[in-house]
């Protein structure tokens, strides 16, 4: 627990949250805000933009600097949490006496592998940076197709001199102090990040999503209620991840081949139409419902008959699945998703990653094999690991302890008592 005196402990904190406007960023900020009795929101999101224009949103956020400076001068919070897309925040906030914290919504594994100072260029992305911890799932590096995908973070778009994603993240990490989550889960990676930075790292414990309000409507329960407990496979890739037409075909046929009832909700419906000759009925020993667009993911994962979640390995989705008691099959598509999958399947022993071809493609047989392996897991070791981490996420007493220590350190930082 942070060592603060009674007068400091009793003083309130004025905190401002400034997430990047993407679902995977807004959600962790919002969850932490609720923990700290604050709030955050956004009008525009990357999910609303086609991929080729998403980078323009970062430039639009950059152009908000005068308005943000005026807002900070008016509100004068003590602490400001900011995201990777706003590395200029410290230069605006510090002259006003506002302490800033870079809130990384990425796993510590992803940050340690991709965006520490030792990672100096895009040429060696297949291998971990200098000094990277040994005996982790990422110690041996990543396949060539993943390294090629990671090179995106070093690209500058638009005008010459524009910051790349790597530049933005590294500037945020070194701007003041960094916040990472799940010390118990990711300690080797966090210790490595600490060795790379000269700033304090604050740990809030896992930011676990609150139980959603409301209930599933009949458009979902009419299908799910027909099956036995834990027998349904739910498949969703979030609001921003779209598979290729061939990818959709291999995915759906693989789910069919697993001979389990499944519910698939995909961002792009047209690519999946016609694969089964229409309809949502049986065939191949199971039954299916394929939908396009959005679904109430947390409520579906919490349904008693859903036992497996096939997803893109976004961090929020993985945590929601474990909390919901669903085994996980991971089919990452880009960026930190690849590293999240290695963290969960490799380091934590939770879930299975779909086997990939050398070029990163996947076959229906690999989808089938992964689903069957998870749904019919017979070994006690795998179940024990899953139960261990689910208990960790759902341990209210531990969450309160993490939060108390975190708030104490925030007060130390706000009142100039945190060691630098």
Give tens-digit pLDDT for 348-405: 999 999 999 999 999 999 999 999 999 987 667 788 899 999 998 888 888 888 888 8
* Whether residue 228 sits in one domain with residue 182: no
Mind listing the pLDDT tens digit for each residue in 72-83?
999 999 999 998
Let me know whether 74 and 144 are in one domain: yes
Residue 52 a catalytic site member: no
Between 76 and 273, the more confident residue is: 76
Two tokens at 70?
């005026």
Evaluate whether residue 91 is within a structural domain: yes
* pLDDT higher than threshold 90 for residue 279: no
Quick one: pLDDT at residue 150?
A: 95
Q: Do residues 111 and 133 touch, judged by C-beta distance below 8 A?
A: no
169 in Cβ contact with 197 (< 8 Å) = no
- What 3-state class would DSSP assign to 330? strand
Q: Tens of pLDDT along 151-171?
A: 989 887 666 567 888 988 888
pLDDT value, residue 138: 97
Eight-state DSSP code of residue 210: P
Lowest mean pLDDT, pick from 66-75, 97-106, 215-224, 255-264:
97-106
DSSP secondary structure of 244-313: -HHHHHHHHHHHHHTTS-EEEEES--GGGTTSSSSSS-EETTEEEEEEES---HHHHHTSTTEEEEEE--
Most confident of 172-186, 204-218, 262-276, 400-414: 400-414
**Do 368 and 276 belong to one domain?**
yes
Q: Tokens 């795998």 belong to which residue?
A: 382
Residue 332 is predicted with a pLDDT of: 96
**Per the residue annotation, which of 14, 48, 74, 83 is the catalytic one?**
83
Q: Which residue has the higher pLDDT, 200 or 116?
A: 116
Structure tokens at 312: 């893109």
pLDDT on residue 139 = 97
pLDDT at 160 (0 to 100) = 55
Any domain includes 112 = yes
Domain assignment present for residue 105? The answer is yes
Question: Does residue 241 or residue 116 have the better pLDDT?
Answer: 116
Q: Both 104 and 181 in a single domain?
A: yes
40 domain-assigned = yes
Same domain, yes or no: 200 and 60: yes
Instruction: Answer whether residue 213 is part of any domain.
Output: no
Angle subtended by helix axes 380-394 and 315-323, to nearest 10: 100
Same structural domain, 251 and 320: yes
CA angle at residue 323 from 318 to 327, to 5 degrees? 60
The tokens describing 179, both together, are 């916040």
> What is the rounded CA–CA span in Å between residue 349 and residue 344?
6
Same domain for 163 and 225, yes or no, is no
Of the candidates 370, 387, 400, which has an alpha carbon nearest to the alpha carbon of residue 205? 400
Query: Residue 32: is its pLDDT beyond 80?
Result: no
Comparing 72-76, 287-291, 298-302, 396-400, the range with the smallest average pLDDT is 396-400
> What global pTM score does this model have?
0.85
Residue pair 383/376 in contact by the 8 Å Cβ criterion: no
For residue 227, name the pLDDT band (cuts at 50, 70, 90): very high
Model confidence at 58: pLDDT above 90: no
Range from 17-21, 83-87, 146-150 carrying the lowest mean pLDDT: 17-21
User: Which one has a higher pLDDT value, 202 or 132?
Assistant: 132
Q: Is 25 a residue of the active site?
A: yes
**Would you mind telling me the total number of residues written for the chain in this entry?**
420
- 244 and 187 within one domain: no
Q: Where residue 41 falls among pLDDT bands split at 50, 70, 90?
A: very low
- How much is the pLDDT for 361? 96
Give the residue, 155 or 253, on which the prediction is more confident: 253
Residues 32, 173, single domain; the answer is yes
Return the pLDDT at 146.
97
Q: Which two tokens stand for residue 405?
A: 């220590």
- Whole-number Å distance between alpha carbons of 40 and 44: 13
CATH number at residue 151: 3.40.50.2000
Q: Mean pLDDT score of the chain, rounded to an integer? A: 84
User: In Å, what is the CA distance from 282 to each residue of 29, 224, 262, 286, 382?
Assistant: 41, 14, 10, 5, 31
Cβ neighbours of 81 (radius 10 Å): 23
Per the structure, the count of domains in the chain is: 2
Residues 184 and 235 both lie in one domain: no
pLDDT of 176 above 80:
no
Cβ atoms of 172 and 102 within 8 Å: the answer is yes
pLDDT at 47: 53
Q: Looking at the domain assignment, is residue 200 inside a domain?
A: yes
At 273 the pLDDT is 59
pLDDT of the residue at 26: 74
Both 404 and 289 in one domain: the answer is no
Q: Cα 217 to the chain's mean position, in Å?
A: 27
For residue 1, being part of any structural domain is answered with: no
Q: Does the pLDDT of residue 252 top 90, yes or no?
A: yes
Structure tokens at 176: 């003041």
Residues 294, 342, single domain; the answer is yes
- For 35, the domain range is 6-207+395-414
Pairing of strands 286-292, 282-283: antiparallel
Here the tokens at position 15 are 């905190």
Is pLDDT of 179 > 50?
A: yes
Of 25, 303, 347, 412, the catalytic one is 25
The reply to whether 419 falls in a domain is no
Q: For a pLDDT cut of 70, what percent of the chain falls above it? A: 83
Whether the predicted pLDDT of 40 surpasses 90: no
């Amino acid at each position: 627990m942070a060592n603060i005196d009674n007068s400091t402990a009793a003083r309130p904190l004025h905190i401002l949250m400034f997430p990047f406007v993407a679902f995977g960023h807004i959600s962790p900020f919002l969850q932490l805000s609720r923990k700290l009795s604050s709030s955050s929101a956004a009008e525009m999101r990357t999910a609303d933009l086609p991929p080729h224009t998403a980078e323009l949103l970062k430039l639009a956020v950059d152009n908000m600097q005068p308005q943000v400076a005026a807002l900070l001068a008016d509100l004068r919070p003590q602490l400001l949490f900011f995201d990777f897309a706003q590395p200029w925040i410290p230069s605006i906030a510090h002259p006003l006496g506002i302490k800033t914290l870079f809130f990384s919504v990425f796993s510590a594994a992803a940050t340690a592998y991709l965006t520490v100072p030792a990672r100096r260029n895009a040429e060696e992305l297949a291998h971990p940076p200098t000094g990277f911890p040994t005996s982790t799932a990422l110690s041996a590096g990543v396949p060539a197709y993943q390294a090629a995908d990671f090179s995106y973070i070093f690209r500058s778009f638009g005008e010459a001199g524009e910051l790349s994603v790597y530049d933005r993240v590294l500037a945020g990490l070194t701007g003041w102090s960094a916040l990472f989550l799940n010390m118990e889960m990711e300690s080797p990676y966090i210790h490595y990040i600490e060795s790379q930075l000269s700033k304090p790292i604050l740990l809030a414990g896992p930011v676990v999503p609150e139980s959603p309000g409301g209930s599933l409507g009949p458009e979902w329960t009419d299908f799910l209620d027909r099956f036995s407990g834990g027998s349904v496979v739910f498949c969703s890739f979030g609001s921003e991840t779209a598979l290729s037409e061939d990818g959709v075909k291999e995915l759906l046929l693989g789910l069919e081949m697993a001979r389990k009832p499944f519910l698939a909700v995909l961002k792009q419906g047209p690519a999946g139409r016609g694969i089964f000759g229409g309809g949502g009925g049986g065939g191949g020993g199971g039954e299916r419902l394929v939908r396009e667009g959005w679904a109430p993911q947390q409520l579906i994962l919490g349904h008693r008959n859903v036992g497996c979640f096939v997803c893109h390995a976004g961090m929020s989705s993985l945590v929601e699945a474990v909390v919901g008691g669903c085994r996980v099959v991971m089919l990452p598509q880009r960026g930190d998703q690849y590293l999240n999958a290695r963290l969960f399947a490799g380091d934590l022993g939770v879930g299975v990653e779909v086997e990939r071809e050398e070029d990163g493609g996947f076959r229906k047989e690999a989808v089938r094999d992964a689903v069957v392996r998870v749904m019919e897991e017979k070994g006690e070791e795998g179940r024990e690991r899953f139960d261990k981490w689910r208990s960790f996420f759902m341990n209210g007493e531990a969450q309160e302890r993490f939060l108390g220590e975190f708030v104490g350190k925030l007060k130390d930082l706000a009142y100039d008592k945190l060691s630098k």
